[in-house]
Amino acid sequence: MRVQPKASRDEIVGPHGSDLKVRITAPPIEGKANAHLVRFLAKTFGVPRTRVTLVSGERGRSKRLRIDTPARLPEMINGNQN
């Protein structure tokens, strides 16, 4: 996953090379962006925050996350794009 902090809104943008690009509004200061990313993904995938785990990339823009048993998939991932 490729993360762009300090964006104007939270959104899953789409493919970025072999990654998925996500924009979030939080600044990359003192873990705020990572915490915000976890909250955003938990809400988007319909799971509690405890089921979203940052596997690697804590200090960079490229991250690996695990989402355990998502309740729903966003349209961008599910393939239901218009």
- Cα–Cα distance, 72 to 32 (Å, whole number): 25
Q: Which domain holds residue 41?
A: 2-69
Decide if 12 is inside a domain.
Answer: yes
Query: Average pLDDT, whole number, for the chain?
Result: 92
- Structural domain tally of the chain? 1
Decide if 29 is inside a domain.
Answer: yes
CATH number for the domain spanning 25: value is 3.30.1200.10
- Cα–Cα distance, 10 to 82 (Å, whole number): 20
Decide if 82 is inside a domain.
Answer: no
Give residue 74's pLDDT band: very low, low, confident or very high (50, 70, 90). Answer: confident
Give residue 82's pLDDT band: very low, low, confident or very high (50, 70, 90). Answer: very low
pTM of the model: 0.89
Tens digits of residue pLDDT in 31-60? 999 999 999 999 999 999 999 999 999 999
